[in-house]
């Protein structure tokens, strides 16, 4: 049996693949467990400068939950609550990843698939990609942790439209709604996603992590502490700042080491 999530290293990039192509990468329990473990492990890897999250093949990022599991694992409130804990761990691991995450979206990105993609920092899809959350047609809700990233990404009004209508819509509408950052030709999705990740990886990695940390901290309404404000100037004490400054003056490409 193949791993439901595969992690590969390509230089400074970690490629995380939802690996159930025979099911269009539908999310099952094993995949949620693997997603949590994979992102928890990558969080501590100093070589990672960007994570690319994708589905296996080009037909789908993920169509969401594997409905065939419901009868055996999500048939009642008790089972659903326990399954939700598994999902919540994966959601927290992806959302808490200190490295930038780029979602490479081929084809269908619906339900739980959209839920996972919304946790990325940048989303790039193809012209034929389709989006939506038709969960109301199953008579089910998305729990608080599952809905949080969507509401944060596109706001309450758009989220309510997506959830209440349960409609599946095209890539251009997804772009208009703010669900994705960029729509490209289907044949260019992989190249554009990897190019984006490479551009990120070429920047100072500490700075990327700081910016991600700062943006996430600003989700909270709590006032910033003096130490947090001071951290905004910590980059001036890094070797990478000295390298970046010198490279700019010398009109050359900087070589950052994450120090």
pLDDT of residue 1: 62
**Strand segments (E) across 90-210:** 101-105, 108-110, 122-126, 130-132, 169-170, 182-184
Domain count, the chain: 2
What does the pLDDT look like over 3-48, one tens digit per residue? 999 999 999 999 999 999 999 999 999 999 999 999 999 999 999 9
Q: Are residues 144 and 239 in the same domain?
A: no
Entry pTM: 0.95
Residues 6+ apart with CB under 8 A from 243: 254, 255, 256, 257
Residues 110 and 181 placed together within one structural domain of the fold: yes
pLDDT at 125 over 70: yes
Question: pLDDT tens-digit profile of 160-218?
Answer: 999 999 999 999 999 999 999 999 999 999 999 999 999 999 999 999 999 999 999 99
- The verdict on 42 and 151 lying in the same domain is yes
- Whether 225 and 142 map to the same domain: the answer is no
Question: Same domain for 189 and 104?
Answer: yes
Residue 255 has a pLDDT of 86
- Are both 184 and 212 inside the same structural domain? no
On whether the CB atoms of residues 48 and 90 are closer than 8 A, the answer is: no
169: tokens are 């819509």
With DSSP H G I counted as helix, E B as strand and the rest as coil, what are the percentages for the chain, rounded to 5?
A: 50, 15, 30
Residue 53, φ and ψ in degrees, nearest 5: -105, 125
Q: Residue 24 and residue 18: Cα distance in Å, rounded? A: 9
**What's the average model confidence in pLDDT over 48-64?**
97
Residue 126 covered by a domain: yes
- Of the pLDDT bands very low, low, confident and very high (cuts 50, 70, 90), residue 148 is very high
Range of the domain at 227: 204-249
pLDDT value for 166: 95
């Amino acid at each position: 049996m193949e791993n439901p999530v595969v992690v590969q290293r390509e230089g400074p990039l970690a490629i995380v693949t939802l690996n159930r192509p025979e099911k269009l990468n539908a999310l099952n329990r094993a995949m949620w467990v693997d997603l949590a473990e994979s992102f928890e492990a990558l969080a501590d890897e100093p070589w990672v400068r960007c994570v690319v999250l994708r589905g296996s093949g080009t037909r789908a990022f993920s169509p969401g939950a594997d409905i065939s599991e419901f009868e055996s694992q999500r048939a009642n409130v008790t089972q659903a609550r326990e399954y939700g804990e598994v999902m919540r761990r994966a959601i927290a691991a992806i959302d808490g990843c200190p490295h930038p995450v780029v979602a490479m979206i081929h084809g269908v990105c619906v339900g739980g698939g959209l839920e996972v993609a919304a946790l990325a920092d940048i989303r790039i899809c193809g012209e034929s990609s389709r989006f939506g959350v038709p969960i109301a047609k199953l008579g089910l809700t998305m729990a608080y942790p599952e809905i949080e990233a969507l509401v944060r990404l596109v706001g309450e009004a758009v989220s309510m439209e997506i959830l209440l209508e349960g409609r599946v819509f095209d890539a251009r509408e997804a772009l208009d709604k703010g669900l994705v950052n960029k729509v490209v030709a289907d044949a260019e999705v992989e190249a554009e996603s990897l190019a984006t990740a490479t551009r990120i990886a070429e920047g100072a990695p500490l700075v990327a992590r700081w910016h991600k940390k700062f943006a996430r901290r600003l989700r909270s309404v709590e006032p910033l502490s003096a130490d947090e404000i001071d951290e905004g100037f910590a980059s001036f004490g890094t070797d990478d700042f000295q390298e970046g400054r010198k490279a700019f003056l010398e009109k050359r490409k900087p070589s950052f080491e994450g120090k």
